[in-house]
Amino acid sequence: MAEPQENQFGIEIRGLSKIFGPRATDMAALVAQGISKAELNERHGHVLGLRDINIDMPAGRIQVIMGLSGSGKSTLIRHINRLIDPTVGEILVGGEDVVKMDAGALRTFRRHKTAMVFQKFALLPHRTVLENTVYGLEVQGVPRARQVDEAMRWIARVGLGGFEKHYPNQLSGGMQQRVGLARALTNDAPILLMDEAFSALDPLIRTDMQTVLLDIQKEIRKTIVFITHDLDEALRLGDRIAILRDGEIVQQGTSQDIVLRPADDYVESFVREVNRGKVIEVDAVMTPLAGDGAPGSPQVPVGTTVDEAIGTLVAGTGDSLTITGTDGVPVGAVTLRQLAAALTSAR
């Protein structure tokens, strides 16, 4: 198989606002001036979907969008393939503004550059797993033999080898969503849009699906936009996370940024329930080091979680660890006390 080309399709969202209602454009100035969502609704009968969203989603990474129900997550993701037109703003995909595409360009863009995975799976009930999976390539007019080759490869990759002749109603929810994922991956589009794709699944199945996605992403390096209202899922999947509230971004950053420095009470309320030891990495709590570290102390690489670090520490006899950089050179040291402090959100 050919090496996958480097993914060039980052997504830059610039000054995006969306107002729902018959005179949306007239309301744009009020929204820019900061009218609240409630006031826009009560006084002007319009719904604020999104206000002044700015996000850079790097190519080949997983961008999570998180927020409570009604915060604007679906509205945002649907702008990326322009299922929704913005009231104001730009959506640059691979440097090209989706908003400026004509109907033909948009059709080509949707077909070849994007694939979607839906919460409700959206499988065709009268088609087998294989026939559901080839669907995108069929629409693209790809020769049948290649459709089947590609589909069979992804069906196997998502763990459904042997089920290709089954119909959706013969499969569990988790298996149906594996089909949804195989179908999206078979399109071989650089961008994968996943709107609450795992939210309908039972917790254990959901964790399995996250693992499948993370494993596959190591190879495929798609630009994935993943929507969830679950912080554990966001922290596990997201290279970067943006948090929406009432149509506005209240914080964006890495999992470390969100858990260690929640921007406000809203974010804090999500973060409170989180298992900090499994999220916070030693880099965030270590003392940076110029020299060689404590002689003889066990070493762990940057990116090690606090949980794992404590495990290493208590398995040995010392009370500090040396943290090594990607090149194996010591970059910091951390004590059991620092690790313990990271576990409590009390400051």
Among 17, 24, 35, 72, interactor with ligand ADP by CB under 6 A: 72
Q: Which of residues 15-54 bind ligand ADP (CB under 6 A)?
A: 20, 47, 49
Q: Work out the burial of residue 191: count CB atoms within 10 Å of its CB; fewer than 13 is exposed, 13-18 middle, 19 or more buried.
A: buried
How far apart CA 163 and CA 280 sit, in angstroms, is 39
Q: Which of 259, 325, 255, 239 is nearest to 286 (CA)?
A: 325
Per partner kind, with CB cut-offs from 5 to 8 A, the member of ligand ADP, Mg ion, none near residue 72 is ligand ADP
The set of residues, in sequence order, having a beta carbon less than 8 Å from that of 162 and lying 6+ positions away, is: none
Q: Work out the burial of residue 296: count CB atoms within 10 Å of its CB; fewer than 13 is exposed, 13-18 middle, 19 or more buried.
A: exposed
**Considering the rule CB under 5 A, would residue 74 count as an interface residue with Mg ion?**
yes
- Separate counts of helices (H) and strands (E) for the chain: 15, 14
**Considering the rule CB under 5 A, would residue 305 count as an interface residue with Mg ion?**
no
**Considering the rule CB under 6 A, would residue 86 count as an interface residue with ligand ADP?**
no
**Considering the rule CB under 6 A, would residue 70 count as an interface residue with ligand ADP?**
yes
Q: Which is closer to ligand ADP, CB of 20 or CB of 118?
A: 20
Which residue matches tokens 């087998």?
128
Q: Is-contact 18 86, C-beta < 8 A?
A: yes
How far apart CA 266 and CA 28 sit, in angstroms, is 26
Structure tokens at 47: 């719904």
Kindly determine how many residues on this chain lie close enough to bind ligand ADP according to the rule CB under 6 A. 11
Q: Which of 74, 3, 2, 6 is nearest to 223 (CA)?
A: 6
Stretch that binds ligand ADP, among 72-80, 107-115, 120-128, 216-224 (CB under 6 A): 72-80
Strand partners, 335: 320
Q: Which is closer to ligand ADP, CB of 40 or CB of 160?
A: 40
Per partner kind, with CB cut-offs from 5 to 8 A, the member of ligand ADP, Mg ion, none near residue 47 is ligand ADP
Least separation in angstroms between residue 71's CB and ligand ADP is 4
Q: Which is closer to Mg ion, CB of 74 or CB of 128?
A: 74
**Considering the rule CB under 5 A, would residue 228 count as an interface residue with Mg ion?**
no
**Considering the rule CB under 5 A, would residue 71 count as an interface residue with Mg ion?**
no
Positions touching ligand ADP (CB under 6 A) are 20, 47, 49, 67, 69-75
Return residues touching Mg ion (CB under 5 A).
73-74
